[in-house]
Structure 1
Amino acid sequence: MWSATERRRPVEWLQFGLGALIVAAMFYPTVWMVLSAFKSNREIFRDPFGLPDEWRWSNFSEAWAQGGLGGLYVNSMIVTLVAVTLAVGCATAAAFAFSRLEFPGRRWLYRLLLIGLLLPPPVVAIPLFGILRDLGLLNTLWALILPGAAWSLSLTVFVMYGYFNSVRPDMEEAALLEGASTWQIFRDISVPMVWPSMLTMAIVNTINIWNELMFALLFITDDDKRTLPVGLIRFFGRYSTDYAMVFAALTITTVPILALYFLLQRHVIAGLSSTAMD
């Protein structure tokens, strides 16, 4: 913070201005979406960037009822919660093993796991469909939970491995000398130290899994098991589209992610800054 007696240099004002411009450019699409959710279709096309002539709160209740968003919300929350828990839990344990334990093939196994960062989802869609079919998991929520968790592992392990390497192992070595087991060290010492980082990755994975569309389209056929991204397609007709309902449904869908970020942003920043400082 600058005191009243300090003056900002022109370079600092330029940095501030560029930062504000970037934030405005990134945030404006969200504002435009929310404003459009209160308009009629005629207003959206007549004045797409203006304020609504009449704030139509009924758009949200109509979108909720027409799209059946209640059941879609429940499905998305179940899939996201379980998949994120599996991904972050397994990735944290794997990153701990790669960073702290010595075992044959450790480096090669870590590099093999990172190949997942290079593969786009369409590459594995067909083989994954066959695996889920053979396991009898097609058209169940597990067909979204397991691929979602597995697809998040590579990035989460990569990030958590860096976090573990940034934390000095002094306390872990002291506990080992005191006779603590590897599991006790991981549970009671390592996890509390990297908890902000785990929370950061949980938020990142939540955004990715919440918005996942391709697997949900391929692996789910029953409407009562679909998630929100697939449910939004219902608002697009073959010959016409009710854009007021589309924007209202998009706003309803975006609210949980925005609320989650604003509630936990301090923890995210703490996790990132603590690693940078180390």
Structure 2
Amino acid sequence: MSRATERRRSTAEWLQFGVAGAIVLVTFYPAIWMVYSSFKSNREIFRSPFALPAQWRWENLIEAWQVGGLGTLYFNSVFVTLVAVSMCVLFATAAAFAFTRLEFPGRKLMYRILLIGLLLPPPSVAIALFTQLRDMHLLNTPWALILPGAAWQLAFTVFLMRAYFISIRPDMEEAARLDGANTWEIFWHVSVPMVWPAMLTMVVLNTISVWNELLFALLFVTDDAQRTLPVGLVRFSGYHSTDYSLVFAALTITTVPILILYFVLQRHVIAGLTATAMD
């Protein structure tokens, strides 16, 4: 390879690196700005919004936690997210296994009907869900958020899990069947370990969606003791004025755990999405 070719290649690589770096900076700067703004005073946020804090006010985090009652909100959000995501991923994995590995009447029709859920915006079913939950006496309970949260992510999760099942060969499952394993044993002991990367991917994506869900939380829960973090953040906005230092502090407390979860599991997320994209 000539020096001119190496120079052109090096220039192209640096150009790609620069463009990628610019995209990452533009994407993540709002989150970075939110975090360091949470350590400013309200006056400093308006006086120099983009500068670093002149004095880091760590007490903003403590005050936001106490004023907003974030302890109860945190517990409610963690409980709702944990149960809803677990239900969604487990049921979706079982459904994807059935759609790809089992033969039964109406399989293709049922799968296509399920995918209609990808086309429905949340406001279109809000009234119907409210009526149903009211008749089931589930309003103002955690289940008013758990059941819609799990169901709303189900279609997308089944779609990706089915694509992952298609991308792997069923040789081990057939070998287990020849050894006398039944369908449940094949699913739980053979298939689930093979699709574990895709399940972790869906855990992360669904956790982000359920954790940040606001519309259903506003409509189905009016009891302060059952509210979740997105609704609780409204408390920091006053009718006449807003203390933005506490708003940013509360947003930081709410957002950072999700960012940490994503960065810890990003390798599995990328592997799961790459495998489904290769199908």
**TM bucket by the smaller chain?**
over 0.9
Distance 1:17 1:212 in 2: 35
Write the letter of the residue equivalent to 1:149: A
Distance 1:165 1:78 in 2: 33
Q: How many residues align?
A: 274
Write the letter of the residue equivalent to 2:248: F
Write the letter of the residue equivalent to 1:46: R
Write the letter of the residue equivalent to 1:86: M
Q: How far did 1:16 drift?
A: 1.2
Write the letter of the residue equivalent to 1:267: H
**Partner of 1:262 in structure 2?**
263
Deviations along 1:47-90, one digit per CA (max 9) or x if unpaired, are 11001111000100000000000000000000000000000000
Equivalent residue runs for 1:103-118 within 5 Å: 103-118=104-119
**Partner of 1:154 in structure 2?**
155
Equivalent residue runs for 1:132-147 within 5 Å: 132-147=133-148
**Partner of 2:22 in structure 1?**
21
Distance 1:274 1:7 in 2: 33
Write the letter of the residue equivalent to 1:44: I
Deviations along 1:30-60, one digit per CA (max 9) or x if unpaired, are 1100111000111111111001111000100
Deviations along 1:143-164, one digit per CA (max 9) or x if unpaired, are 0000000001000000000000
Q: How far did 1:15 drift?
A: 1.4
Distance 2:76 2:245 in 1: 24
Q: How far did 1:269 drift?
A: 2.5
Write the letter of the residue equivalent to 2:119: L
Q: How far did 1:271 drift?
A: 2.4
| CA spacing shift, 1:6–1:160, aligned 2, 3 Å | farther
Distance 2:104 2:255 in 1: 44
**Partner of 1:172 in structure 2?**
173
5+ unaligned residues in a row in structure 2: which ranges?
1-5
- TM-score, length-scaled by structure 1: 0.96
Q: How far did 1:7 drift?
A: 8.1
Distance 1:21 1:30 in 2: 15
Write the letter of the residue equivalent to 1:79: V
Q: How far did 1:178 drift?
A: 1.8
- TM-score, length-scaled by structure 2: 0.95
RMSD: 1.4
Q: How far did 1:267 drift?
A: 2.1
Q: How far did 1:11 drift?
A: 2.2
Q: How far did 1:23 drift?
A: 0.4
Distance 1:57 1:267 in 2: 34
Q: How far did 1:274 drift?
A: 4.2
5+ unaligned residues in a row in structure 1: which ranges?
none
Equivalent residue runs for 1:98-247 within 5 Å: 98-247=99-248
**Partner of 2:86 in structure 1?**
85
Q: How far did 1:276 drift?
A: 5.0
Deviations along 1:161-194, one digit per CA (max 9) or x if unpaired, are 0000000011111111222101111011100000
* Runs of 4+ that moved beyond 6 A: none
Is the CA contact (8 Å cut-off) linking 2:160 and 2:276 kept in structure 1?
Answer: no
Is the CA contact (8 Å cut-off) linking 2:161 and 2:198 kept in structure 1?
Answer: yes
**Partner of 2:3 in structure 1?**
none
Deviations along 1:81-106, one digit per CA (max 9) or x if unpaired, are 00000000000000000011111110
User: Is residue 248 from structure 1 mapped to residue 221 from structure 2 by the alignment?
Assistant: no
Distance 2:257 2:78 in 1: 10
Distance 2:244 2:238 in 1: 10
